[in-house]
């Protein structure tokens, strides 16, 4: 298993051409004549991929970081960060913003 990490600001689509991947591996990953692709999000990762993805020239061309031997894991979901004002509003501690005219 392999993980690909993209440190760049744009998403990357790694194409796995038939001649450089399927022929060397001995099995075809193409779908109806269209090469298989792997989407690596901007500043993100594509985890748990087959080692065959390393045969694609796009991995080196886009400068993706590779981590070998990684087992696919499910990352724990984090709570979304909410602004403090929103949290205070839920608690009923936010003033209306009007000044009294006494």
Q: How does pLDDT run along the chain (102 residues), one tens digit per residue?
A: 889 999 999 999 999 888 878 887 788 878 787 888 999 999 999 998 888 888 888 999 999 999 987 554 445 555 555 555 555 555 555 555 555 555
Cα separation, 91 vs 100, in Å, equals 22
Half-sphere exposure of residue 87: CA atoms within 13 angstroms, side-chain side: 5
Q: Which residues make beta-bridge pairs with 15?
A: 37
Domain locations in the chain as residue ranges? 2-71
Extract the tokens encoding 71: 């087992």
Question: Is the pTM here over 0.85, yes or no?
Answer: no
């Amino acid at each position: 298993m392999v993980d690909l990490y993209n440190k760049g600001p744009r998403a990357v689509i790694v194409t796995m051409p038939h001649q450089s991947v399927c022929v060397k591996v001995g099995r075809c990953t193409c779908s109806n004549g269209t090469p298989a692709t792997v989407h690596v999000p901007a500043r993100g990762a594509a985890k748990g991929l087959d080692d065959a993805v390393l045969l694609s020239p796009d991995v080196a061309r886009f400068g993706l970081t590779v981590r070998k031997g990684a087992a696919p894991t499910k990352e724990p979901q984090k709570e979304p960060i909410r602004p403090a004002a929103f949290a205070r509003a839920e608690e009923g501690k936010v003033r209306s913003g009007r000044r009294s005219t006494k």
